């Protein structure tokens, strides 16, 4: 069964218990105020791979991936920053309403996800449309003594009421210091590490509550949506490594305090993506969008393949050369699959396929899986029809549309598939005279054969 590195427990653990037939997974979704860059998209590939591997093991996966369209401030790196909502800041910059901005960039994100063959989640709630649930959760936390309201209409989570805070990131409450953008401790708070669940405001996208009009904090929204759509027992929570602190620490404290027990069983995080050796940012000018990849003439699924060349919890340096190499491999594999489809179908090579599947099960060791797949591609001792079935089977996990070129070229003439298979065996036996004779026979039928480092390839030609 699938094993992943649990950030909180600091070890690789089996995610679905033996005999279990379902997996409930929450993935922190996008804040829809700009286009997602490829670094953002890498973290969503993580949850998609988890889903595909689990479903291959006949596990029913229920995914909730939220849409943050309110509550995420321009600077949420501090425990309780003052600032402007990201969506509203972008709305002001573009001269549109906040909802227009949110829906536009939500649609753009969904288009990118579809282009990368990410399977849609069962639940995709918007924070703005689950506000009743969020307000009810805040009231519950106040009632249980884990949160408190102050006269100006703010509500804060009482961090000291959750003694195991810091188990995900290692940031303990007694070691935290006030944010560097604040002058001293906020006098409204009981403890400087308390964070806002509700903020008073009468601007756009605000709601009435028992504490006054305002909007929620980013962290409480995820707790509310996860609990509403997946319940109080969630098997797996994923996200980028930058969300460990404070977002996931705060989310865990809120959810567990409301439920009275540990809600999320496993926390799994994907590492940062660099581009040309630097973190993606507007200031460095190296933000790469999926549409930039397409504009370069590359298949968007080359991005998916390039990501899998590195393990999800390893920092990765993506370059244009890396993407071009992935695109070349993707096109070659599709061509090979199309060629193999002209041969009689044969059973998959069970041993090789099992090794590749085991690599995915072992903490998503995608580099090993791809290395074994390349070996299978080059192994001429395995019948083309067997390699075809193996590649199509494994593409259920890879998600690379490897069957895309099947049927696009004219079929082989009668008898050519058998001659190609005989020639494969002749090459394996190093019977070069037989291989040359069979090449000539194929040419007479209108099939041109070439030998490459990856194996025998063919193309049909007619006068």
pLDDT in tens, 252-310: 999 999 999 999 999 999 999 999 888 887 777 789 999 999 999 999 999 999 999 99
Classify residue 6 by its DSSP letter.
E
Residue 81 pLDDT more than 50?
Answer: no
- Radius of gyration (C-alpha) of the chain in whole angstroms: 26
Is 309 a domain residue? Answer: yes
Answer yes or no: are the C-beta atoms of 346 and 385 closer than 8 Å: yes
Best-predicted range by mean pLDDT among 297-301, 338-342, 431-435?
297-301
CATH number of the CATH domain containing 147: 3.40.50.620
Beta bridge partners of 155: 149, 198
Token look-up 């594999």 returns 333
Lowest-pLDDT range, 142-156, 278-292, 367-381?
Answer: 278-292
Residue 241 lies in a domain: yes
Q: Which residues are part of a known binding site for ATP? A: 282
Pair (333, 206) in one structural domain = no
pLDDT of residue 181 exceeding 60, the answer is no
223/325 same-domain check: no
Give me the mean pLDDT over the 173-185 stretch: 67
pLDDT average, residue stretch 178-195: 76
Band of residue 462 on the pLDDT scale cut at 50, 70, 90: very low
Q: How far apart are CA 320 and CA 322, in angstroms?
A: 5
More confident residue, 21 or 279: 21
Q: What are the residues facing 26 on neighbouring strands?
A: 64, 237
Tell me what pLDDT residue 428 has: 86
Kindly report the backbone phi and psi dihedral angles of residue 225, in degrees, each rounded to the nearest multiple of 5, phi listed first: -70, -40
Given a contact cutoff of 8 angstroms between Cβ atoms, the answer to whether 198 and 216 are in contact is yes
275 domain-assigned: no
**219 and 292 fall within a common domain:** no
pTM score, whole prediction? 0.87
Q: Which residue has the tokens 């990856």?
A: 454
- 10 Å CB burial of residue 145 (0-12, 13-18, 19+) is exposed
Owning domain of residue 167: 3-270
Domain count of the fold of the chain: 3
With cut-offs at 50, 70 and 90, classify the pLDDT of residue 374.
very high
- Give percent of the chain above pLDDT 90: 74
Highest mean pLDDT (candidates 171-180, 181-190, 271-280, 392-401): 392-401
Q: What percent of the chain has pLDDT over 70?
A: 94
Q: How far is it, in rounded angstroms, from Cα 392 to Cα 51?
A: 18
Does residue 238 sit in the same domain as residue 301? no
Q: Do residue 266 and residue 377 come from a single domain?
A: no
Shared domain for 250 and 114, answered yes or no, is yes
Q: Which residues fall in the annotated binding site for Zn(2+)?
A: 28, 222, 247, 251
Q: What is the pLDDT of residue 463?
A: 36
User: Is residue 141 domain-resident?
Assistant: yes
State whether 335 and 246 are in the same domain.
no
Indicate whether 77 pLDDT > 70. Answer: no
Average confidence score pLDDT of the chain: 91
Spatial CA neighbour of 446 closest among 430, 458, 454: 458
Q: Which residues contribute to the annotated binding site?
A: 28, 222, 247, 251, 282
């Amino acid at each position: 069964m699938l094993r992943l590195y649990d950030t909180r427990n600091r070890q690789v653990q089996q995610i679905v218990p033996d005999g279990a037939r379902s997996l409930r997974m929450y993935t922190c979704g996008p804040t829809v105020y700009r286009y997602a860059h490829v670094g953002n998209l890498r973290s969503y590939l993580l949850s998609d791979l988890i889903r595909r591997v689990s479903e291959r093991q006949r596990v029913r996966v229920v995914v909730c991936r939220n849409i943050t369209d309110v509550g995420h401030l321009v600077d949420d790196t501090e425990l309780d920053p003052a600032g402007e909502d990201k969506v509203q800041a972008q709305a002001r910059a573009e001269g549109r309403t906040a909802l227009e901005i949110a829906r536009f960039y939500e649609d753009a994100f969904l288009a990118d996800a579809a282009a990368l063959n990410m399977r849609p989640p069962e639940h995709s709630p918007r924070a703005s449309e689950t506000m009743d649930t969020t307000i009810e959760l805040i009231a519950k936390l106040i009632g249980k003594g884990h949160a408190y309201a102050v006269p100006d209409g703010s509500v804060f989570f009482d961090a000291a009421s959750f003694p195991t805070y810091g188990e995900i990131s290692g940031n303990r409450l007694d070691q935290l210091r006030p944010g560097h953008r604040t002058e001293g401790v906020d006098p409204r708070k009981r403890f400087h590490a308390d964070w806002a669940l509700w903020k008073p405001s009468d601007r756009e996208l605000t709601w009435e509550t028992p504490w006054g009009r305002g909007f929620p904090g980013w962290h409480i929204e995820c707790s509310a949506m996860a609990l509403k759509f997946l319940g109080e027992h969630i098997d797996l929570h994923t996200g980028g490594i930058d969300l460990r602190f404070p977002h996931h620490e705060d989310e865990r404290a809120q959810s567990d305090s409301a439920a009275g027990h540990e809600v999320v069983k496993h926390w799994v995080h994907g590492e940062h993506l660099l581009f040309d050796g630097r973190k993606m940012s507007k200031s460095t000018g190296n933000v790469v969008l999926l549409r930039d990849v397409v504009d370069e003439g590359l298949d968007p699924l080359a991005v998916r393949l390039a990501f899998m060349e590195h393990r999800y919890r390893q920092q990765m340096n993506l370059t244009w050369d890396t993407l071009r190499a992935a695109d070349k491999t993707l096109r070659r594999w599709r061509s090979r699959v199309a060629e193999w489809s002209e041969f009689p179908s044969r059973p998959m090579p069970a041993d090789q396929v099992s090794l590749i599947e085991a690599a995915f099960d072992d903490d998503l060791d995608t580099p090993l899986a791809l290395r074994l797949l390349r070996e299978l591609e080059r192994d001429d001792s395995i019948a083309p029809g067997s390699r075809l079935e193996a590649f199509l089977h494994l593409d259920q996990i890879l998600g690379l549309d490897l069957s895309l070129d099947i049927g696009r070229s004219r079929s082989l003439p009668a008898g050519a598939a058998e001659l190609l298979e005989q020639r494969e065996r002749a090459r394996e036996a190093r019977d070069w005279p037989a291989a040359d004779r069979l090449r000539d026979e194929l040419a007479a039928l209108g099939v041109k054969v070439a030998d490459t480092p990856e194996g025998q390839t063919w193309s049909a030609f007619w006068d």
